[in-house]
Structure 1
Amino acid sequence: MDVIARRAGNMARRREKAWRWEHWGVVPDRETQLALAAELGIREDLLDAQPWPERLPVGDPIRADFSWDQPGSMLALDQAVGNAMMDRRGFMRLTGVGLAGFAADWLNIDTAELMSVLGGGRITEDFVAQIEAGVPRLRMLGEAYGGQRSRRLIDAELGMVVEVLEKSSYSVAVAQRLHGLAAELGRLAGYISFDAGLHSAAQRYWVAAVHSAHTAGDRALGANILKSMALQCYDFGNFSGFLTIARTAYEGAGNVTPRTAGMLAVRLARAYASVDDVAESQRLLGIADTHFGQGTCDDDPPWIGYFDEGEFHAQAGMCYLDLGNLHRADSHLDNALERFFATKPLDQTTYLVMRARVQNDLGNADQAGDLLHQAVSLIEQAPSQRNVDRLVAVRNYLPDNTSRSDLDQRLSTLTG
């Protein structure tokens, strides 16, 4: 802000403006953008070549050109571990053709045969099983306490797996399990970084995770990681990217269990809803409902456990919200909130806020305000930058009156 103040005058020094650029999606005025461009050496005629903030040279670029084999996976993991923890800026850096091309490569390249790596102690399947047994606890921590509190622990666990891969020897079967572990830990680290508003960090983890899932030969896990990358596109209003990646995940998952197929179909339904394709969105919701109705099976991957009846209703509600069908959206979101467990405060918060948005659009501002108060209480329990941003955005649509002042006071403690 000091830079802008020198070039554009003292009124630009208000630091909350920068916070709004990063977290509320506010685009700086032309004078401010010109000041930033001048300081960063960006020609004025290039300002409109890319939308804000993609033109900004923030940090190191995110690589997505690693080879689709074990050496490529290891290089991707090395780039992610540590570097992702240093990312601070709340922007996506991998966008457009680069992001879509990365997803297409995953879809089209066959899994390479793994080679055992020598150089350290021999790793057994029992050792891998002990590490795998700790992953559900990490998932629970991320859900219960939010990304800001748990990402360092998950990054450390991922770093330990990477070190084992680099310095130990193991069979091909053990190598596949280790890469599968790295993929799931990278997916989880990416998601909690995403939740904390650290979008570049999330992309670094996810790129490495997709490579690891590919090396492990686990198409379903790779599709689940791409599903998360697609959701990040949605949050940034990149709906064409959302659709491209969600479709790639759906088509490339391979032979999966019914619940996994239903989860991927729901995400694709949301992608079609985001581009106002009513027929295709509803068709995929029907497919997802059919798959989900087939129940669980012994072959369900462990990470699919989150996709329960509450989550299905929540995703259907978001589809109808994007399609403008407020009454159906409200019914599904209400059903979702009735079914969420107390151990899922992040999800509860998200859909309380989304239902508040629906209630306000239906003309029920008081009901919307009550829902937002409940959401604030849950954010205090499980901090989430994404949920704070959503809550502030919905609050800004509520009518201004004295009954909102207590909500604003509570919000100020979250956004200060």
Structure 2
Amino acid sequence: MSRRVLTQADGVLVHPLSYIRAERGWSYQDLVDVIARRAGNMARRREKAWRWEHWGVVPDRETQIALAAELGIRQELIDTQPWPEWLPAGDPIRAEFSWDQPGSMLAIDQALGNAMMDRRGFMRLTGAGLAGFATEWLNVDPVELTSVLRGGRITEDFVSQIEAGMPRLRMLGEAYGGQRSRRLIDAELGMVAEVLEKSSYSVAVAQRLHGLAAELGRLAGYISFDAGLHSAAQRYWVAAVHSAHAAGDRALGANILKSMALQCYDFGDFSGFLAIARTAYEGAGNATPRTVGMLAVRLARAHASVHDDAEAHRLLGVADTYFGQGPRDDDPAWIGYFDEGEFHAQVGMCYLELGNMRQADSRLDKALKGFFTAKPLDHATYLVMRARVQNELGNADQAGDLLHQAVSLIEQAPSRRNVDRLVAVRDRLPDGIRGNDLDQRLSTLTG
């Protein structure tokens, strides 16, 4: 969890220390005071605690021992678990549900009961537990679903009506993001879960219902992720992977894992990013070419993040070959977002990771030419990323102009991740380029 957190949305607990302070009613000053009383010689400056939470600064061992004693935690945990993993930061994200229909239902129930109230802006499921969850999904075959006679019979026409509403929900997430869309998607997921629990249906209908639950969980997770609610996102995604497994849809499960991999990247866990992106790529089953191309780009970026440039370039070639085959009638509905603009943007992000700014700029330029007019959230993301590239190329004025454009889009489609990215790029610009106008506009976004 070494990623520097640049902003804090209202109510989002951005670090395990934020959770502890909220639980105990401590200010930053209270936190350093209670540690100083035990450590004895620590300077009581509140800025130290702020840096622990927001800049990824790791407190020294004496400070950690003092805090552990205050929290009633054995010192051995400090020796066996790195900072801040030993901190008591609320309930864990459960991932040990059985890989069958009851397990899928229990996972959905856990997500619906907890995700909307989970304000933790940090990952709770990490390391071997997260990688093990992805590997387990890869190696378990779906079991045949059975109907349980508890209510009215659900027909395929009824499921088709629910499926027909999915494009609208995807559009809400892409265009607006934020809590409004998440509440709607959470409610829709609850309705599908209730149908699964209380109705009877055929095996084919059950698979479609579980597929709906998986896609709704993926959407709710991604919107939570974008809003900085990382533990809530993990709750939704764990349930979604189980639902995709119950539906027998390997490609859908791989797409959910792809999002979980990106969360690892945002937190600087590049080995986790690579492990989960590889699992998604290898576990997609008989996926369509466009789906394979999408997963190959994500895996290429993962290899680039660990400086395996040769494999990253090879996978970019694979992605180009598969994506170049064009759309097919049997493409899943959710792959529609991965159009030509998104392909160029994702390849551009990979080149950015590889340090090839010319190629990154060329791809991002192609992506931004008309492909994102209906998707302000993604449009803002790639404007900010191109601003970063332009600044690296020495074009600071152009970078500033791109950031101004991005601010307008973020005002329309609020995004915690986009604000963090934008502030990070702004901080890299020369002082004369930032300008009071840009800083004033940013202040309305960051509070």
TM-score category of the 2 structures, normalised to the smaller one:
over 0.9
User: For 1:45 and 1:412, how far apart are their aligned partners in 2?
Assistant: 43
Distance 1:190-1:117 versus aligned 2 partners, 3 A rule: same
Gaps of 5+ in 1: none
Identify the match of residue 406 of structure 1 among 437, 443, 446.
437
User: For 1:368 and 1:297, how far apart are their aligned partners in 2?
Assistant: 38
Report what 1:336 is aligned to: 367
Report what 1:27 is aligned to: 57
Report what 2:270 is aligned to: 239
Report what 2:321 is aligned to: 290
Report what 1:210 is aligned to: 241
User: For 2:153 and 2:400, how far apart are their aligned partners in 1?
Assistant: 58
Identify the match of residue 416 of structure 2 among 348, 373, 385.
385
Matches within 5 A, 1:353-368: 353-368=384-399
User: Is residue 300 of structure 2 the alignment partner of residue 269 of structure 1?
Assistant: yes
Partners of 1:148 and 1:384 within 8 A in 2: no
Q: Following TM superposition, by how much is the alpha carbon of 1:402 offset from its aligned partner in structure 2, in angstroms?
A: 6.9
Residue aligned with 2:210, SS: helix
Amino acid at match of 2:57: V
Amino acid at match of 1:26: G
User: Is residue 31 of structure 2 the alignment partner of residue 4 of structure 1?
Assistant: yes
Amino acid at match of 1:301: P
Identify the match of residue 187 of structure 2 among 156, 172, 176.
156
Question: Post-superposition, which runs of at least 4 consecutive aligned residues in structure 1 deviate over 6 A?
Answer: none
Q: Following TM superposition, by how much is the alpha carbon of 1:47 offset from its aligned partner in structure 2, in angstroms?
A: 3.6
Identify the match of residue 331 of structure 2 among 288, 296, 300.
300
Q: Following TM superposition, by how much is the alpha carbon of 1:58 offset from its aligned partner in structure 2, in angstroms?
A: 1.7
Distance 1:47-1:396 versus aligned 2 partners, 3 A rule: farther
Matches within 5 A, 1:170-189: 170-189=201-220
Residue aligned with 2:369, SS: helix
Report what 1:326 is aligned to: 357
CA RMSD of aligned residues (A): 1.9
CA offset digits 1:225-252 (Å, max 9, x no partner) = 1111111111111111111111111111
User: For 2:436 and 2:75, how far apart are their aligned partners in 1?
Assistant: 42
User: For 1:346 and 1:221, how far apart are their aligned partners in 2?
Assistant: 22
User: For 1:273 and 1:101, how far apart are their aligned partners in 2?
Assistant: 23
Length-normalised TM-score, structure 1? 0.94
Residue aligned with 2:368, SS: helix
The count of corresponding residues between Structure 1 and Structure 2 is: 412
User: For 2:110 and 2:185, how far apart are their aligned partners in 1?
Assistant: 16
CA offset digits 1:383-412 (Å, max 9, x no partner) = 000111111111111222375222111111
User: For 1:13 and 1:334, how far apart are their aligned partners in 2?
Assistant: 41
Report what 1:254 is aligned to: 285
Partners of 1:148 and 1:383 within 8 A in 2: no
User: For 1:379 and 1:110, how far apart are their aligned partners in 2?
Assistant: 42
Gaps of 5+ in 2: 1-25, 37-42
Q: Following TM superposition, by how much is the alpha carbon of 1:360 offset from its aligned partner in structure 2, in angstroms?
A: 1.4
Report what 2:428 is aligned to: 397
Partners of 2:426 and 2:434 within 8 A in 1: no
Residue aligned with 2:145, SS: coil
User: For 2:400 and 2:209, how far apart are their aligned partners in 1?
Assistant: 47
CA offset digits 1:252-290 (Å, max 9, x no partner) = 111111111111111111111111111111111111111
CA offset digits 1:103-162 (Å, max 9, x no partner) = 111111111111101111111111111111111100000111113331111001001111
Partners of 2:372 and 2:378 within 8 A in 1: no
